[in-house]
Amino acid sequence: MNSQSIAPKLQTFVDGVSDLLDQKQVEAEFHPEVGELLRELVKEDDWLDPKYAVPHPEYYQQFLLYVDPQERFSVVSFVWGPGQQTPVHNHTVWGVIGMLRGKEREQHYEAGSDHSLTAKGDEVTLSPGDIGFVSPTIGDVHRVSNVYDDQVSISIHIYGGDIGKIERHVFPTDGSPKKDFISGYTTPA
């Protein structure tokens, strides 16, 4: 997706992240600042093109909004139909989640070498304007779900790479070994 086809507020966000990553390469230095830029983007729900906000009746949608030409980061809208959730999974790169519309619930996990999963910390609910962080350095294994059984929720995610191409893992809750996956993206109608 090129910069001429994105909303001005999204372009401002992308430019801010790009400038930040030009200046700082250490995750601990830029991750919180990316979070504040994302918080600014999701504080108003008036910029997301409706074609990137369409739910699927059976599973969540992941629409690519922007990928950096150098693949340093990608921006994605996650569209959650009523009651939908991810499996327990990781990212293998840093990420920030910003809640745009509705609410989502997140539970982090510790994955054991014996394939066990242990809940890590309390479950967190993100409301519009809230942000959350993931990274292999701070905790990268989690499950996310739409809080609502009767409405759509939308979150905006930024990841440290082209997340649709990155090999990641799903962690089955039955104790079986993790499985590799590459998420790809949903194509808007």
Give tens-digit pLDDT for 84-130.
999 999 999 999 999 999 999 999 999 998 999 999 999 999 999 99
8-state DSSP, 79: E
The answer to whether 56 is a known ligand-binding residue is: no
Collapsed DSSP state (helix, strand, coil) of residue 88: coil
Task: Return the structure tokens found at 176.
Answer: 């079986």
| Distance separating alpha carbons of residues 66 and 5, to the nearest angstrom | 10
Domain boundary assignment for the chain: 3-181
The answer to whether 169 is a known ligand-binding residue is: no
Give tens-digit pLDDT for 22-76.
999 999 999 999 999 999 999 999 999 999 999 999 999 999 999 999 999 999 9
What is the band of 2 on the pLDDT scale with cuts at 50, 70, 90? very low
In CATH, the number for domain 3-181 is 2.60.120.10
Q: Which residue, chain included where needed, has tokens 């440290």?
A: 160
Give CA 16 to chain center in angstroms.
Answer: 18
| Distance separating alpha carbons of residues 189 and 184, to the nearest angstrom | 16
Q: Which residues contact 137 (CB under 8 A, 6 or more apart)?
A: 27, 28, 94
